[in-house]
Structure 1
């Protein structure tokens, strides 16, 4: 007996109507098992399978295009693809490849997963994959860590399994996140959810409509699935929106999609050359918003999310075509940034209390609000340090020097901007006065320009990340830099004087590697600082470079501090030995 999967059934299709359809096409079958929006048909042999697929795949039944394909049982079917997990952060991709290549000399394909440091390997035959699983599963490295190797589990078929398997399944595509006016959410959902079910059934994508906040005029819609499924679902949603807008006598409803701020520059291109190509090919007008967090909107970073809105204006078809091109470019940029196999785990080492790549919205299921995202862009350091939980709530102090002409924009009218930044980041920020001797670079070990003011930022590492980002963006907007340009600012962190040697490293190896990987300029005090406990480390560069260097410096300081012997303490009232 063989089974055939028939999907994309409309809500009004039942077993009786499906039996009638099969009889009309002279298809012999044994049994029908009805499920929600799909069914399984049992037939005699593979010839009948081919017959039913040929006749029903693509057939229009009650307005829905059916999908018919063989239902391959997975219990006895061996795959030629395996997944390797439980990888320690310090294990390099090359080590894993060497292990796998030692099992078989044939050509293999290696793919890194975007979550939890997984690695997928595709062999030529299932037998080679089975041999690798048997020999490498529970393999122990010199440090005592063990890897887990098992067959790749494809959960593509069931929508229910898709919703629950985000954390450890196959490589996941970047979701499409679109913004719609909250007034249209009811039309998108439809009566008793019929419209949204039809969209998900026809597009084979998962659509999540986030909870509407009363103070926000817009609603976020997240679409997950293959690129084609996401774009199809987006087009169907916007078609519903356009129909609803026409009934309300509104027109020119644009597409609005979200893009991570860190890759917007590449979407725009140098002097706008990339986005101009998109507009010329599709005949649309595309505008990328500047990043300016404001309270109460979708950009409100109480949800810790750093995005820009890409607005596409034009006809429905041309806008859909433009969305496909932009989404494809976003996926390419994201894969480039996450291309390093170690990035997800190593980012947690450099930024111990920052959410890792697995917390980016494409990596985890959406709930009521968007999860935090601290997108680091590039750079990692081998090795790591423990004690993450203890460090998460530790307060850090950073001194950020802001150009004098940009201070007004950072503070805002009656201090509104700086208050918003503190509220959104949960950090404390104090901008010193122009007459403060420390506020303009005076008495500093390095001879910097005096046309800057010092902002003292206090908070956890996550609060630091967000507060510094907002200030960098405010300065960038005030200086009217192009979207692909970056503003370079100076930051200082105070470190124990005794830890300078650890930061420098043997023959300057640590500080050189830090500058090479982060792209920032790291300056250490060379003059005698006198009898002081702490000295400043100066870091100059764009936002991501300075963040990378700051995390590395703090990592080295923490390693140094843990290596110091604990001070000896005597019991109160203990007798003292007389000499």
Structure 2
């Protein structure tokens, strides 16, 4: 808009001609807007880091996954260089866009750096930054090796670690490094990143960076693919909507917002406009996972309830040797989506399931007994279609005695998106049954009927 409005404006007999170029000379200057009405603008081309004007190549197909580093604050000046020459040299040589977040965390001992480029470009920029820091450390007579610190979203870290830590051990052995990961206790709703600390020679650290980022990128792309497969089944759900997740299910890279700043919910997001009423869902989790969901002194479950806007309670164990515990979630549909998403994500992060295995949980929802037949359908047709559509297992147990509210349970088993889609579809059926009953009652004549 600024380019459009400024181009052609006059000031003191001069006419402005405005064009848009990448920051820090990261790529050759892009031309001004080719078609001011319907054509592709240079700003749109700028959204492809590491590509020159008119060349969008294969990078366009891959989701941008930046490398996020933490560097000691005392080295930031050396990385930028006099008049920004050093950082400009890094961006030119590696064809990357490097953002140093100097204003974040005022007074902190470390500052985050975000590098946007191809995997090779990110690694090359990382190597140059590590070399600069080591030289600065040598000049100031710092004897210790400078560790490489990579920031990674918590939802991806479990798959980097692998079952029983196998992935991480393999990377350590192959690269001759020592790798540690910051504690889960350091996470908050507003800071979903963990710090991966790699110690060793610069050469070894850079080899480890390649392997770590490969694992993280693979996990991220798998999440994107899974969401793309499922979003069409849940009305109103989009990648931007998922940006409201800070941990657990989130698949958006943390570079989308400054570290420590809460993500903003997308404007106008309400995928469940049709059913604003409170819902109760009974989610069954492994007994050994209860501590992780509750958190130290109940902090995690309190944060989760506040974030989702739902009531979350864990029911007492039915027996001392029970393998599952029931989590009762009460809230409107959007709160249900957020709360269940966080719980699924938390279980995956904590390695209660293997890296390749989807987190599949059993969920119970109550339906009016009058609607149970509609959920099943004639000869089981509806429930079979529901299972084929959502990839969830849906069971309406027979011979149930309705409760005091004339409701019965429907059991749903599957991964998060399958379970969510099944829940939404079943609630749609319930709404249809209720609407038909209301129409029938309104249209019925007020007369005495004999049998």
TM-score in terms of structure 1 length: 0.53
Alignment match, 1:256: 149
Alignment match, 1:350: 234
CA distance in 2, matches of 1:268, 1:308: 12
- Within-5 A mapping of 1:107-122: none
3-state SS of 1:170 partner? helix
Q: Of residues 214, 227, 245 in structure 1, which corresponds to 2:119?
A: 227
Alignment match, 2:418: 548
* 2:174 counterpart of 1:281: yes
3-state SS of 1:237 partner? helix
Q: Of residues 74, 87, 96 in structure 2, which corresponds to 1:196?
A: 87
CA distance in 2, matches of 1:464, 1:308: 26
Is contact 2:272-2:334 (8 Å) kept? no
Alignment match, 1:534: 407
Is contact 1:353-1:461 (8 Å) kept? no
- Within-5 A mapping of 1:60-139: none
Q: Of residues 394, 397, 400 in structure 1, which corresponds to 2:280?
A: 397
Shift in alpha-carbon separation, 1:358–1:416, aligned structure 2, 3 A: closer
CA shift, 1:355, in A, is 4.0
CA distance in 2, matches of 1:332, 1:310: 17
CA distance in 2, matches of 1:218, 1:462: 37
* 2:49 counterpart of 1:178: no
CA shift, 1:392, in A, is 9.0
Q: Of residues 347, 364, 371 in structure 2, which corresponds to 1:492?
A: 364
- Within-5 A mapping of 1:310-459: 310-336=196-222, 338-339=224-225, 343-344=227-228, 346-347=230-231, 349-350=233-234, 352-353=236-237, 355=239, 359=243, 366-368=256-258, 388=271, 390=273, 395-402=278-285, 407-408=290-291, 410-412=293-295, 414-432=297-315, 434=316, 440=318, 450=322, 452-459=324-331
> Structure 2 unaligned runs (5+)?
1-20, 244-249
Query: Any idea what the Cα deviations from partners look like across 1:429-472, whole Å, max 9, x if unmatched?
Result: 2234x3xxxx628xxxxxx9756543322345554455445556
Is contact 1:505-1:511 (8 Å) kept? yes
Name the count of aligned residue pairs: 404
Shift in alpha-carbon separation, 1:578–1:314, aligned structure 2, 3 A: closer
CA shift, 1:286, in A, is 3.3
Alignment match, 1:111: none
Is contact 1:176-1:257 (8 Å) kept? no
3-state SS of 2:301 partner? helix
Is contact 2:72-2:109 (8 Å) kept? yes
> What value does the CA root-mean-square deviation take over the aligned residues?
5.4
Is contact 2:75-2:136 (8 Å) kept? no
3-state SS of 1:567 partner? helix
Shift in alpha-carbon separation, 1:362–1:547, aligned structure 2, 3 A: closer
User: If each structure's helix is expressed as a fraction of its own residues, which one has the higher value?
Assistant: 2
Alignment match, 2:189: 301
CA shift, 1:256, in A, is 3.0
Is contact 1:264-1:483 (8 Å) kept? no
CA shift, 1:205, in A, is 1.0
Is contact 1:203-1:229 (8 Å) kept? yes
Residue range with higher mean Cα deviation, 466-475 or 549-558? 466-475
CA shift, 1:226, in A, is 1.7
Is contact 1:353-1:462 (8 Å) kept? no
CA distance in 2, matches of 1:509, 1:556: 14
CA distance in 1, matches of 2:207, 2:421: 41
Shift in alpha-carbon separation, 1:481–1:227, aligned structure 2, 3 A: closer
Shift in alpha-carbon separation, 1:244–1:300, aligned structure 2, 3 A: farther
CA shift, 1:276, in A, is 4.2
CA distance in 1, matches of 2:240, 2:307: 20
CA shift, 1:180, in A, is 0.7
Q: Of residues 155, 161, 165 in structure 1, which corresponds to 2:45?
A: 155
Is contact 1:176-1:327 (8 Å) kept? no
CA distance in 2, matches of 1:180, 1:337: 25
CA distance in 1, matches of 2:153, 2:385: 28
CA shift, 1:238, in A, is 3.2
Q: Which has the larger radius of gyration?
A: 1
CA shift, 1:224, in A, is 1.6
3-state SS of 1:529 partner? coil
CA shift, 1:475, in A, is 6.5
Q: Of residues 553, 557, 560 in structure 1, which corresponds to 2:427?
A: 557
> Structure 1 unaligned runs (5+)?
1-34, 40-65, 76-149, 375-385, 442-447
Query: Any idea what the Cα deviations from partners look like across 1:16-50, whole Å, max 9, x if unmatched?
Result: xxxxxxxxxxxxxxxxxxx99999xxxxxxxxxxx
* 2:130 counterpart of 1:238: yes
CA distance in 2, matches of 1:212, 1:262: 23
3-state SS of 2:412 partner? strand
CA shift, 1:207, in A, is 2.3
Shift in alpha-carbon separation, 1:491–1:158, aligned structure 2, 3 A: closer
CA distance in 1, matches of 2:280, 2:368: 13
CA distance in 1, matches of 2:369, 2:236: 23
Shift in alpha-carbon separation, 1:162–1:489, aligned structure 2, 3 A: same
Query: Any idea what the Cα deviations from partners look like across 1:29-78, whole Å, max 9, x if unmatched?
Result: xxxxxx99999xxxxxxxxxxxxxxxxxxxxxxxxxx999xx99998xxx
CA distance in 2, matches of 1:430, 1:333: 31
CA shift, 1:404, in A, is 5.3
